[in-house]
């Protein structure tokens, strides 16, 4: 019934298997990839006809994590997988980016790629497995896909690169100081197509070495996919790239001169208006048949790209007049908003980010329900890109894939310089509002986020800056690497290469390309040029941080204390009675974890101290020899019981009340009276022994008996 084909190989410490022919046979291509015991099914379908008037390539990639894959039931009320999680969205983008440029130029038929996690061994991350499965399914589907690609994850420990480190190794690099890198690379046989990473201040050479290492490690995976395709691939879909040379000639003749003049304008808004006017002029000169041609958009873009790219490569001059290495003018300002905990406005040319930092307590940590387990995150970064930032009218809704992806890139860049949670017990949330955009708003978010956190008093290890690099690669091999690219250079260029880091090294690297790959030489040039740009931006950011940034008076103060784990129950009390009383009386927020770490938070220092003292009185043990202020709670014939330490009572024997004989303790004491006592120690049964007579009841100082002078023998 089934015509199953299976191919396997040893990859690192695990076995990688590709299987097709048994499941989802009506899809154009289906492959189940398994690494260890992590399995992902990729299904590919594509339309056999292009929609009339379709002027873009409608590729959609979905990645789904099924909770049953890890033997879990989804959380929430409905107990069913619902909207994509952040991890699912990011992984879908991770797969989309390297495969999109490899479809034949001019192919505009709808393509759907669905990746479903079927099994997760809690060791091997499904994202790399899904990328390999998607590539294999596309390769055998018959679609005009110029692959295959493969991907690998790389770690960096003790100066050595590690292939496909485990999920636990990568969960939070801040908690694993030995692991300095989480890098994902996708590529073809000859070139790298995509890079995504977070790092702990790696040098350019170390990062380039990691990329090259990953590219070497994916070669046998590519061979495995080709081996599978040779036996199972469907007949190639008959598709010929459309010939619109005559249309392009008409477009060029009608508007090249006006379009070239438009791209010579340096101001973005004026240039955008001039380019739009040039397009309208071109359309007016075309025939009705030419206007209805589905390739009109491609012809227009080819004209614009030719003008922009030619000027850069041949003359080294960009559309805003800069050289290939210049960074646009930078203006940075902190403490923009009076009531926020930290704020900064970072402007680079026509790109601007308003970054705001909020400090919260442990209650504000984000709870993440993932396949490999539930955990909390105390650093959040959210990126918003409203339509007004580019002068447009548009729909405003929940964050899309772009907002989630750009926010995560900025998060990766900044997480490496955050203090350890034990040193700074706050939840940190950064929100980047993009108020203007003309190229690399994600890197502006990195710069603004760094400034706003420092403005909020977060003790970062170092400031972080980011810069976006571009590439113009001509057919004859000539190329130009561009520093701090504009939106048009991103749209009409061949690469988006974003590098963020400190003065000491790279903390994040992301690369996307629109051609069939770039060489190590180009990547090395881009990294070196990006370092120069990053250093310049850091120096400009430093001008906004010349003064010491104080902790906001509106931010909560958090103090931590450690108590023995066997005392946790006493602090919480029956049904939470004790801790509720502490919170109500002190006005502070109190959070206790299972390790005995208590966080006390409040904007008011007195509230924190009051809560601290109440907790301390419950968990601390009185020290022998110390003097305490207490209250008489009961008088008996042989002495008085004094409450001197929290709820601890002790006996002051009648002989220890005063340095004279008393008939009865009530001669000098009464219930409720405040007295000062010294803890003499504990008897054999653990009972407390106190003394009043060795303490000055007015000053609280210990009375030291006078020493008798020794008489000298007279001679």
Residue 563 CA to residue 132 CA, distance in Å, equals 49
Closest CA to 229 of 146, 112, 131: 146
Query: Do residues 667 and 590 both lie within one domain?
Result: no
In this predicted structure, what is the pLDDT of residue 673? 92
Query: Do residues 340 and 412 both lie within one domain?
Result: yes
User: Is the model's pLDDT at 710 over the cut of 60?
Assistant: no
Using 50, 70 and 90 to split pLDDT, how confident is the model at 709? very low
In this predicted structure, what is the pLDDT of residue 712? 46
Query: Do residues 194 and 98 both lie within one domain?
Result: yes
Instruction: Say if CB 275 and CB 260 are below 8 A apart.
Output: no
Q: Give the helix/strand (H/E) hosting 483.
A: strand 479-483
Using 50, 70 and 90 to split pLDDT, how confident is the model at 69? very high
Q: Is residue 85 part of a domain?
A: yes
Residue 132 CA to residue 151 CA, distance in Å, equals 6
User: Is the model's pLDDT at 657 over the cut of 80?
Assistant: yes
Pairing label, strands 674-682, 627-636? antiparallel
Q: CATH number of the domain that 583 lies in?
A: 3.30.1370.10
Residue 465 CA to residue 277 CA, distance in Å, equals 37
For residue 369, give both structure tokens: 């329900």
Q: Across the chain, what does the average pLDDT equal? A: 89
Q: State phi, psi for 102 to the nearest 5 degrees.
A: -95, 0
Q: Is the peptide bond preceding residue 195 cis, with omega within 30 degrees of 0?
A: no
Using 50, 70 and 90 to split pLDDT, how confident is the model at 477? low
Last residue of a domain, one of 566, 600, 619: 619
190-204: pLDDT as tens digits: 889 999 999 999 999
Last residue of a domain, one of 487, 510, 545: 545
Query: Do residues 308 and 223 both lie within one domain?
Result: no
Q: Is residue 500 part of a domain?
A: no
Give every CB contact of residue 198 below 8 A, 6+ residues apart in sequence. 173, 181, 182, 412, 413, 415, 416, 507, 508
pLDDT above 70 as % of the chain: 97
Q: Is residue 493 part of a domain?
A: no
Q: Which residues pair with 678 in a beta bridge?
A: 627, 691
Q: What pTM was computed for the model? A: 0.84
Query: Do residues 577 and 539 both lie within one domain?
Result: no
Q: State phi, psi for 513 to the nearest 5 degrees.
A: -130, 160
Dihedral, CA atoms, 34, 175, 90, 28, nearest 10 degrees?
0
Using 50, 70 and 90 to split pLDDT, how confident is the model at 517? low
User: Is the model's pLDDT at 387 over the cut of 70?
Assistant: yes
In this predicted structure, what is the pLDDT of residue 121? 94
Q: Is residue 477 part of a domain?
A: no
Of 94-108, 411-425, 470-484, the range with the lowest mean pLDDT is 470-484
Residue with token string 């004209």: 303
Last residue of a domain, one of 545, 580, 600: 545
Q: CATH number of the domain that 687 lies in?
A: 2.40.50.140
Query: Do residues 21 and 129 both lie within one domain?
Result: yes
Closest CA to 675 of 706, 705, 638, 634: 634
212-222: pLDDT as tens digits: 999 999 999 99
In this predicted structure, what is the pLDDT of residue 267? 81
In this predicted structure, what is the pLDDT of residue 714? 44
Domain that holds residue 637: 627-691
For residue 25, give both structure tokens: 């046979």
Q: How many CB atoms lie within 10 A of CB 311?
A: 17
423-472: pLDDT as tens digits: 888 999 999 999 999 888 999 999 999 999 999 999 999 999 999 998 88
Query: Do residues 596 and 651 both lie within one domain?
Result: no
C-alpha 548 chain-centroid distance: 27
DSSP for 59-77, please give it. Answer: EEEEEEE-GGGGT----SS
Residue 137 CA to residue 43 CA, distance in Å, equals 6
Query: Do residues 176 and 221 both lie within one domain?
Result: yes
User: What SS3 state is found at 407?
Assistant: helix
Using 50, 70 and 90 to split pLDDT, how confident is the model at 556? confident
Closest CA to 432 of 344, 506, 327: 344
Q: Is residue 541 part of a domain?
A: yes
**Cα distance between the two ends of the chain:** 124
CA distances from 156 to 152, 165, 209, 505, 668 (A): 13, 9, 10, 14, 74
Q: CATH number of the domain that 212 lies in?
A: 3.30.230.70
Pairing label, strands 427-436, 465-473? unpaired
Q: Is residue 524 part of a domain?
A: no
Q: Is residue 410 part of a domain?
A: yes
Q: Is residue 552 part of a domain?
A: no
3-state helix, strand, coil in the chain (%, to 5): 35, 30, 35
Q: Is the peptide bond preceding residue 340 cis, with omega within 30 degrees of 0?
A: no
Domain count, the chain: 5
Residues 217-242 have a mean pLDDT of 94
Query: Do residues 570 and 680 both lie within one domain?
Result: no
129-153: pLDDT as tens digits: 999 999 999 999 999 999 899 999 9
Using 50, 70 and 90 to split pLDDT, how confident is the model at 175? low
Residue with token string 């033997």: 71
Using 50, 70 and 90 to split pLDDT, how confident is the model at 547? low
Give every CB contact of residue 124 below 8 A, 6+ residues apart in sequence. 14, 35, 36, 37, 38, 164, 166, 167
For residue 702, give both structure tokens: 């210990």
Residue 242 CA to residue 296 CA, distance in Å, equals 11
Query: Do residues 256 and 373 both lie within one domain?
Result: no
User: Is the model's pLDDT at 6 over the cut of 90?
Assistant: yes
User: Is the model's pLDDT at 546 over the cut of 60?
Assistant: no
Query: Do residues 584 and 611 both lie within one domain?
Result: yes
Q: How many CB atoms lie within 10 A of CB 167?
A: 18
Query: Do residues 113 and 222 both lie within one domain?
Result: yes
CA distances from 312 to 321, 337, 475, 477, 485 (A): 10, 40, 14, 14, 12
User: What SS3 state is found at 531?
Assistant: helix
Residue 402 CA to residue 387 CA, distance in Å, equals 13
């Amino acid at each position: 019934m089934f015509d199953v084909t299976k191919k396997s190989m040893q990859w690192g410490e695990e076995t990688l298997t590709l299987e097709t022919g048994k499941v989802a046979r009506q899809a154009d291509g289906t492959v189940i990839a398994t690494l260890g015991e992590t399995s992902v099914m990729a299904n590919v379908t594509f339309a056999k006809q292009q929609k009339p008037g379709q002027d873009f390539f409608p590729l959609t990639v979905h990645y789904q994590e099924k909770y049953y894959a890890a033997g879990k039931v989804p959380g929430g009320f409905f107990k069913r997988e619902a909207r994509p999680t952040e991890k699912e969205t990011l992984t879908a983008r991770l797969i989309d980016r390297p495969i999109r440029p490899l479809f034949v130029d001019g192919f505009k038929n709808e393509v759907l790629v669905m990746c479903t996690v079927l099994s997760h061994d809690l060791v091997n991350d499904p994202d790399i497995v899904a990328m390999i499965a998607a590539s294999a399914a596309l390769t055998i589907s018959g679609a005009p896909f110029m692959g295959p690609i493969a991907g690998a994850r790389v770690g960096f420990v003790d100066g050595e690169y590690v292939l496909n480190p485990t999920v636990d190794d990568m969960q939070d690099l801040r908690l694993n100081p030995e692991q300095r890198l989480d890098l994902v690379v996708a590529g073809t046989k000859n070139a790298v197509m995509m890079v995504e990473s977070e790092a702990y201040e790696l040098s350019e050479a170390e990062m380039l070495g990691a990329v090259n290492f990953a590219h070497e490690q994916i070669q046998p995976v590519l061979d495995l996919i080709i081996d599978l395709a040779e036996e199972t691939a469907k007949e190639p879909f008959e598709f010929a790239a459309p010939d619109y040379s005559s249309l392009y000639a008409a477009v060029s003749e009608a508007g090249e001169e006006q379009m070239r003049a438009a791209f010579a304008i340096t101001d973005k808004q004026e240039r955008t208006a001039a380019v739009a006017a040039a397009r309208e002029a071109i359309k007016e000169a075309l025939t009705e048949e030419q206007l209805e041609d589905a390739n009109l958009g491609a012809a227009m873009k080819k004209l614009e790209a030719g003008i922009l790219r030619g000027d850069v490569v041949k003359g080294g001059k960009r559309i805003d007049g800069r050289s290939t290495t210049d960074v646009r003018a930078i203006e940075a300002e902190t403490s923009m908003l009076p009531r926020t905990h930290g704020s900064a406005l970072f402007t680079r040319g026509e790109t601007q980010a308003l970054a705001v930092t909020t400090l919260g307590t442990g209650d504000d940590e984000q709870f993440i329900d993932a396949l490999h387990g539930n955990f909390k995150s105390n650093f959040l970064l959210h990126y918003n890109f409203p339509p007004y930032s580019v002068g447009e009218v548009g729909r405003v809704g929940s964050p899309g894939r772009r907002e989630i992806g750009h926010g995560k890139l900025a998060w990766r860049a900044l997480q490496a310089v955050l203090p350890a949670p034990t040193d700074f017990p706050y939840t940190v949330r950064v929100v980047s509002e993009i108020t203007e955009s003309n190229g690399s708003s994600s890197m502006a978010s990195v710069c603004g986020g760094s400034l706003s956190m420092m403005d909020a008093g977060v003790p970062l290890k170092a400031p972080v800056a980011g810069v976006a690099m571009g590439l113009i690669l001509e057919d004859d091999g000539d190329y130009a690497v561009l520093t701090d690219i504009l939106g048009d250079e991103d749209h009409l260029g061949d690469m988006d290469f974003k590098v963020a880091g400190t003065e000491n090294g790279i903390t994040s690297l992301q690369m996307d390309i629109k051609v069939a790959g770039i060489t190590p030489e180009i990547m090395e040039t881009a990294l070196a040029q990006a370092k120069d740009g990053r250093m310049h931006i850091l120096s400009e950011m430093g001008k906004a941080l010349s003064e010491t940034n104080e902790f906001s008076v509106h931010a909560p103060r958090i103090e931590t204390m450690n108590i023995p784990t066997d005392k946790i129950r006493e602090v919480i009390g029956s049904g939470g009675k004790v801790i509720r009383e502490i919170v109500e009386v002190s006005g502070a927020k109190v959070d206790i974890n299972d390790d005995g770490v208590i966080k006390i938070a409040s904007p008011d220092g007195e509230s924190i101290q009051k809560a601290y003292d109440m907790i301390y009185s419950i968990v601390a043990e009185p020290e022998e020899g110390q003097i305490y202020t207490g209250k008489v709670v009961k008088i008996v014939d042989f002495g008085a019981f004094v409450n001197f330490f929290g709820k601890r009572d002790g006996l002051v024997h009648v002989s220890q009340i005063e340095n004279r004989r008393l008939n009865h303790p009530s001669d000098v004491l009464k219930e409720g009276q405040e007295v000062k006592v010294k803890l003499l120690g504990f008897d054999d049964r653990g009972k407390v022994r106190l003394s009043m007579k060795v303490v000055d009841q007015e000053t609280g100082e210990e009375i030291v008996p006078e020493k008798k002078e020794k008489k000298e023998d007279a001679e």
